[in-house]
Structure 1
Amino acid sequence: MGRRTLPLTDTQIRLAKPTKKNPTLYDGQGLELKLDTSGSKLWRLRYQHPFTRKRKYISLGAYPAVTLANARDKRSEAQALLAQDIDPHQHWKSEKVRRQLAHATSLRAVAEQWFEVKKTKVTDDYATDIWSSLELHVFPELGSTAIGEITAPLFIDVLRPLATKGTLETLRRVCSRVNQIMTFATNTGVIIANPLAKVQEAFPAPKKQHLPSIQPEQLPVVLAQIANTQVSLAVRNCFFWSLHAIARPGEAANLQWDDIDWDNQLVCIPAERMKRRRRHVIPLTPPMIKILETMKPVSGKDQYVFKSPNKPTGPINSQSVNAALKRMGLKDTLCSHGLRSIASTALNDHGFEPDLIETALAHLDKNETRASYNRSEYVQRRRAMMEWWSNFIVQAQVDAITQETDTIA
């Protein structure tokens, strides 16, 4: 009759020290605790391979991180696998690889790879907006999920709260961005097909909303209102710069002194700060030069023209002009992006060439040959157009003096 092994106790393990005679403690059924002279205590399980019948050992970890109860649970799990002719060592190794692969191909992990490519094609502000929307609406529920396990019903369920709230434009953008991630995963071989290609069809379409703007003839009224509104010098001048330069809010707020080519009377905004990732050149007009000269004593030694009063080295927020318009009561009447619409309407009504206007608006010309021609030839022709537009604004300011009691809000 074989010697019966007495089960170990936690006290016995805690007090055990290695000896030459007995460097290993036995709990029975193959579970052992190997004592090392360094003081470490390592669990291992002895078993026979289900097919070769050779003796094998599996390391189960170190005590006390792996407790006696933990080690016994692993022994029971191994015995259950062996009863099915499954080698526990190979099974656990395969499971570890599967978990590592699942982590490497989680939605968040693949999204990070996609984002490294995406952010080279968009402005920094837009890249921040993209990632923030994923952090807020997608990653909390699906970030750790293997991308191959994401299905249309699962994704729809996660986005349903956005549909319930009625934020359909946000929902549309999130669907579009996750679809781009899925397409990236398909193109890089992570998944075979995109299961979310038509998921937007599960939700109502957002109503097309144009950004609020006004007609050019209403500009004097707005200028009269802003003249009587208390805003900082940087925000006031950024408003007028946006108007004269026909610039997007972010392009205006992030204007840098290094962008100004005084010798050639140009503003040269580098591609990385433009929405379409193409360098944009704007002819300077006398009123635009006056704005820059007004800002020189304030920020001339700094990086940004419209320096933030709250961040010594940074620009004003791209939404600062919008905030000022809201304080004027124009929230539903005019936004900073709508200033570009005023310019576009006025320039088109006056009969300027559509190509000149589109170039001034920094809209992307899909014809590469013509786009190259635009950058070289159009500058001088655009200068005349920009000077006409600046004169239109100056006249509106003169007219505003007689309209100070009027409002359009």
Structure 2
Amino acid sequence: MKRSEIKRRPLADTTLAGLEPEIAAYREQDGQGLYFRVKPNGGKSWELRYKKPDGKWSWLGLGSYPEVSGAGARQKAAELRADAADGINPLTAKHARKASELEAANSTFEALAREWIEIRRSGWASSTATRTIGALELHVLPVFGKRLYASILPIEWMEFLRGMEQQGIIEQMSRVRRSCKEIYDLARVTGRAVHNPLEGLNRFLQSKPAENYAHVTAKELPTLLRAISAYPHAHDLRLGLRLLMLTGVRPSELREARWDEFDRKAGLWLIPAERMKKRRPHTVPLSRQVLDALEQLQKMTGAYPLLFPGRNDRTKPRSNMAFNMALRRMGYAGRQTGHGFRHIASTTLRENGFAKDHVEAQLSHVEDGVSGVYNKAIYLEQRRTMMQWYADHLDELERDNVVEFKQGQNR
């Protein structure tokens, strides 16, 4: 559209979008000192013509188009004209408003949450980072992200979290509550907030359901073992469930495992510190049964870096619900979870006379400090013997036999 075809002012939205550039830049008046500027390269912007306190006329840019719409430019111009009428230099007022807007943007809940994420990220395992950030981005930021964090009331957080309760996502709700409470703690300890609106809310909300670490009884264990061996669907998950049972590692540690972490000749799996809950490397001795399962699994996924690559993106591990979904398909919803295998291993080994320190070391429940590192090293061979017995024991249970542990062999 040519400028000669303009029929009315203020300029219509179709006019603003359609105005064509000319050889030289030009301005078209919108009204009351507001002008629309079009450059030869097609760039468009808003400018206000105003009189400075010294009586001279000047131009003040109000932003480019279409980032600043016609309505937005007219509102800005009205505010600056009001400032000029009060004797305030519009340029000074513009800079003050921009600083105020910037301060407000840095005071939103999302800005505070992103700051907290950057501080905490280095201490998280990758799976923890994915779960925590994902929960915030899915549930919290769309609701509170653009709000000033100091303006969100405790009752608003209560209603929001109860809404998650009603959806039945109790574990997600608990994770979100803990994260948001920590986010406000950051504001409080850095002097940007006095009170934490999530303080005490946990007393009025449901806790995480007990089935998160559910595990079968000793009497039910043989049936579970046979069900895993007979799982007819994804064979990599069948082997994954067997590996969880045989090693006692956390589901995330197995799900994110890489082939280069295994020394099958030495019968060892070294899990790097960045993937461990305690952020310290963990050595897992491998029984004959584990080595056999790894050999089978390598035929399926050995072409990829990960033991359990995702279906759609082979560079990422399977979903964090993959093992639990397999157990649900077998009919064990609420009765057995991937993490529950650790409870089975701990109970079985302790009841059969294995030393508590050896069991705790196998489960990576090692004490902090130098003594923890020392104990991990000297217990490796004891754990190798212990976990071989455990693997043999599980095989016998699956065949309806029982292997008794002789106390002397673990001394």
Q: Contact between 1:285 and 1:390, CA under 8 Å: does it hold in 2?
A: yes
Q: Contact between 1:31 and 1:72, CA under 8 Å: does it hold in 2?
A: yes
TM superposition shift of 1:146: 2.9
Structure 1 match to 2:48: 44
Structure 2 match to 1:387: 388
1:323 matches 2:310: no
TM superposition shift of 1:41: 8.3
Percent identity for Structure 1 against Structure 2: 27
Q: Contact between 2:48 and 2:62, CA under 8 Å: does it hold in 1?
A: yes
TM superposition shift of 1:368: 0.9
More deviation, 62-71/387-396: 62-71
In structure 2, the CA distance between the partners of 1:87 and 1:263, relative to structure 1 (3 Å rule), is same
Structure 2 match to 1:397: 398
Partner Cα distance (2:63, 2:340) in 1: 66
TM-score by length of 2: 0.79
Partner Cα distance (2:249, 2:190) in 1: 37
Which fold has the larger relative contact order, with Cα–Cα distance below 8 Å and residues 6 or more apart in sequence? Answer: 1
In structure 2, the CA distance between the partners of 1:69 and 1:188, relative to structure 1 (3 Å rule), is closer
Partner Cα distance (1:307, 1:72) in 2: 55
* 1:123-162 equivalence runs, <5 A: 123-162=125-164
Aligned-residue CA RMSD (Å): 3.8
Structure 2 match to 1:227: 229
Q: Contact between 2:248 and 2:362, CA under 8 Å: does it hold in 1?
A: yes
Structure 1: which amino acid aligns with 2:342? R
Partner Cα distance (2:312, 2:41) in 1: 58
In structure 2, the CA distance between the partners of 1:316 and 1:150, relative to structure 1 (3 Å rule), is closer
In structure 2, the CA distance between the partners of 1:36 and 1:104, relative to structure 1 (3 Å rule), is same
* 1:243-254 equivalence runs, <5 A: 243-254=245-256
Q: Contact between 1:45 and 1:75, CA under 8 Å: does it hold in 2?
A: no
In structure 2, the CA distance between the partners of 1:185 and 1:58, relative to structure 1 (3 Å rule), is farther
TM superposition shift of 1:145: 2.0
In structure 2, the CA distance between the partners of 1:342 and 1:61, relative to structure 1 (3 Å rule), is closer
Deviations 1:307-342 (A, max 9, x none): 556655554444333222212211122122111111
Deviations 1:270-309 (A, max 9, x none): 1112223221111111111221222333333432334556
In structure 2, the CA distance between the partners of 1:17 and 1:120, relative to structure 1 (3 Å rule), is closer
In structure 2, the CA distance between the partners of 1:8 and 1:113, relative to structure 1 (3 Å rule), is closer
Deviations 1:245-274 (A, max 9, x none): 111112222322211123432110111122
* 1:31-180 equivalence runs, <5 A: 43-49=47-53, 55=56, 57-61=58-62, 74-165=76-167, 167-180=169-182
- Structure 2, unmatched stretches of 5+, are 1-7, 402-411
Structure 2 match to 1:279: 281
TM superposition shift of 1:92: 2.4
More deviation, 299-308/61-70: 61-70
Structure 2: which amino acid aligns with 1:140? P
Partner Cα distance (2:39, 2:206) in 1: 67
Structure 1 match to 2:409: none
* 1:189-204 equivalence runs, <5 A: 191-201=192-202, 203-204=204-205
Asked which structure has the greater CA Rg, the reply is 1
TM-score by length of 1: 0.80
In structure 2, the CA distance between the partners of 1:157 and 1:29, relative to structure 1 (3 Å rule), is same
Partner Cα distance (1:318, 1:98) in 2: 43
Pairs aligned (count): 387
Partner Cα distance (1:91, 1:230) in 2: 71
Partner Cα distance (2:310, 2:39) in 1: 63
TM superposition shift of 1:144: 1.5
TM superposition shift of 1:221: 1.4
